[in-house]
Amino acid sequence: MVLTGEGRGFCSGADLRGGSGERAFRQVLTTEYNPLMRAIRDLPKPVIAAVNGVAAGAGVSLALACDLLYAAEEARFIQAFVKIGLVPDSGSARTLVRALGRHRAARLIFTGEPLTAGEALAAGLVNEVVPAADLSATVRGVAVSLAAAPTRAIGYAKQLLNRAEDATLDETMDLEAALQELAGRTHDHAEGMEAFAEKREARFVGG
C-alpha cells in the first residue's frame, strides 16, 4: 500500500481554517487521528509513504506511521504544533525520540524548524531521497517487488517490528518462535525451499 499527497504537498496536518474557536481535541485525536495511525501499523502488509512535498503537524505522524518512507528532494518534515501553541500528537513524539534521540527530537518539536529530506535521510527517518520526477516510479518499483515477495511472511515480520520497539528480548524471541511456526507452514516457505534447492528464482503467491 502506498500513501502519497496530491499536488505539491504530502499532508499539511489538521485543517485550521475553522478559526480560533474551541475544539474537541481529545475527541478528534482518539476517534479519528489515532485510529488511523494504529490501522497503518496493524495492517498486515507494508505501507510505503511517498513524501512528495511538505509533511507538517500530523502529516509527519502519518508519514512516520508507515513502514517504509521515500521522499522527494523537496520534501520537508515540520513539527508545526509549537507555532500554534499545541503539542505533537498522533504518535509523533514517540517515533521521533526513538528515531532521532531526545535532543534532536526536542529541537524539532520546540522550534518547529523544518527537517529537510537530506537531514531526514541522514537521521534514518527515511529510506531514500530521490528527485521528485523519480519518486512515483521508485516507490512503485518497491511496491511491486514487495508484492512479489512472500507477503504472509512480511506481514508476520511487521508484527515483530511493531512489538520490538517496546518488547523485552524474551518477549521478542517468544513472538518470533510463534510467528516462525506459522511462516514455516506456508506455501511460500515450501516454494522458497524448493527454489533454493533447484537454484532458481522463487515464485511466491502470498499463501
Report the chain (207 residues): mean pLDDT per 10 consecutive residues.
93 67 79 94 96 95 96 96 90 90 94 95 95 97 97 96 89 88 91 92 91
My answer on whether 115 and 185 are in the same domain is no
| pLDDT score recorded for residue 15 | 67
Q: Is residue 205 part of a domain?
A: no
My answer on whether 158 and 116 are in the same domain is no
Q: Is residue 37 part of a domain?
A: yes
- Report residue 103 as a C-alpha cell: 535532543
> At CA 62, angle to CA 61 and CA 63, rounded to 5?
90
My answer on whether 70 and 101 are in the same domain is yes
Sequence-ordered strand ranges (E) for the chain:
2-4, 48-51, 54-56, 68-72, 76-78, 115-116, 128-130
| pLDDT score recorded for residue 17 | 61
| pLDDT score recorded for residue 23 | 72
When divided into structural domains, the chain yields a total of: 2
| pLDDT score recorded for residue 21 | 52
Starting at the earlier edge strand, list the strands of the sheet with 54-56. 54-56, 76-78, 115-116
Domain holding 56, by residue range, is 2-147
